[in-house]
Amino acid sequence: MLRSSMVMMAMAAAIAPHAHAHAQATVDSLYTRDHYNKSEYMVPMRDGVKLYTIVYAPKDTSQAQPFMLVRTPYGIPPYPLTEYKRVLGPSPEFDRDGYIFVYQDARGKFRSEGTFQVMNPYRPVKNGPKDVDESTDNYDTIDWLLKNIPHNNGRVGQWGISYPAWQTVMGMIAAHPALKASSPQSSPSDMFVGDDFHHNGAFRFMYTFSWLSGNARPRGAQTTDRPRPFDYGTTDAYHFYLDVGTVARVNELYFHDQVPTWNDFLKHPNYDTYWQAQNVLKDLKGITHPVLNVTGWFDQEDFYGPMSIYYGIEKANPNNQSTLVVGPWNHGGWGAGGGDSLGPVKFGSATGEYFRREVQLPFFQRYLKDKPVKPLAEAIVFESGTNVWKTYDSWPPKSAVKRSLFLHANGKLSWTAPTETAAAFDSYVDDPAHPVPFTTEKRPTQGFLWMVEDQWFASVRPDVLTYQTEPLTDDVTIAGPILAKMRVSTSGTDADFVVKLIDVFPNTDATTPAPSGAGGGRGRGNAGDQRMRNYQMLVGAEVFRAKYRHSYSNPEPMVPNQVTPIDWDLRDKNHTFQKGHRIMVQVQSSWFPLIDRNPHQFMDIYAAKPSDFRTATQRVYRSAAQPSHLELLVVPAAP
Low-confidence ranges of the chain (pLDDT < 50): 2-27, 221-222, 511-520
SS3 94: helix
Instruction: Output the pLDDT for position 3.
Output: 45
pLDDT, residue 422, reads: 84
The C-alpha atoms of residue 573 and residue 503 are separated, in whole angstroms, by: 12
The pLDDT value recorded for residue 220 is 60
- Distance (Å, whole) CA 181 – CA 340: 28
pLDDT of residue 531: 83
Tell me phi and psi for residue 226, to 5 degrees.
Answer: -80, 150
Answer left, alpha or beta for residue 508, where phi above 0 means left and psi between -120 and 50 means alpha. beta
Specify the pTM.
Answer: 0.93
Residues 6+ apart with CB under 8 A from 192: 198, 201, 271, 275, 279, 552
Q: Residue type for 278, please?
A: Q
Q: Supply φ then ψ for residue 418, to 5 degrees.
A: -70, 155
Residue 559 CA, chain-centre distance (Å), reads: 34
* Distance from C-alpha of 547 to C-alpha of 492, rounded to nearest angstrom: 11
**Residue 130 φ then ψ, to 5°:** -80, -15
Spatial CB neighbours of 620, under 8 Å, sequence gap ≥ 6: 407, 425, 426, 427, 465, 486, 487, 488, 587, 628
User: What is the reported pLDDT for 253?
Assistant: 97
Q: Tens digits of per-residue pLDDT, 175-233?
A: 999 999 999 999 999 999 999 999 999 999 999 999 999 998 887 644 566 677 899 99
3-state SS, residue 296: strand
Give percent helix, percent strand, percent coil of the chain, each to the nearest 5: 25, 25, 50
Specify the pLDDT at position 24.
Answer: 38
193 DSSP 8-state letter: T
Which string of DSSP letters, residue by residue, matches 134-155?
Answer: HHHHHHHHHHHHHHHSSSEEEE
59-84 b/e with 16+ CB inside 10 Å = b?
eeeeeebbbbbbbbbbbbbeeeeeeb
Domains of the chain, first to last: 4-189+279-376 (3.40.50.1820), 401-635 (2.60.120.260)
